[in-house]
Amino acid sequence: MADTTGRFCGRNQPEDVWFLAGTFGGTVRRTCTVPTGRPVVFPLVNQQANSKAVCNEFMTTAEGRATLDGEPVTPERIEDDNVAVTGVAGNPLTGEKGTTTSYACGLWVRLQPLRPGRHTLTIRGSSGDFRTGVDYTLIARTGQQA
């Protein structure tokens, strides 16, 4: 999320999907190379919280939109899923090494695997005073590894 260029977009990717990050606020422009064989998943706006109530409040004003190559994509509302996050010491999400459990909520998109070539993905999201956006140039390549 702190990556302002896309330099780290291939870092620690799982084998079944390819995650694209939002931001901690504000808008950035990133270029990423992604594999053609995996679905692409990303948030329009999201939050991790210590209670369902915090997620519910966040979702009352959550809104967003995304376009892939100029065509709108449909987001899914994730209301208050219980999630476990495992991180290294100093990670930007929890700051601590180990696994923590919290609630996750937001507007998310799952795209089918991209066809080879260059794609433009525009993401905008907000909740309350929080605003986020990413302008992605995605280069889909066959055989791309994480």
pLDDT of residue 97: 86
Closest CA to 112 of 68, 59, 51: 68
CA distances from 111 to 36, 37, 136 (A): 11, 11, 14
pLDDT of residue 145: 54
pLDDT of residue 146: 45
> Residue 79: left (phi > 0), alpha (psi -120 to 50), or beta?
alpha
Which amino acid, residue 25? G
Beta bridge partners of residue 108, listed in sequence order: 43, 76
| Strand intervals (E) in the chain | 18-19, 26-35, 40-49, 63-68, 71-72, 76-87, 98-111, 117-127, 130-141
Q: pLDDT tens digits, residue range 88-129?
A: 787 666 677 888 788 889 999 999 999 999 999 999 999 999
pLDDT of residue 111: 97
pTM for the model stands at 0.85
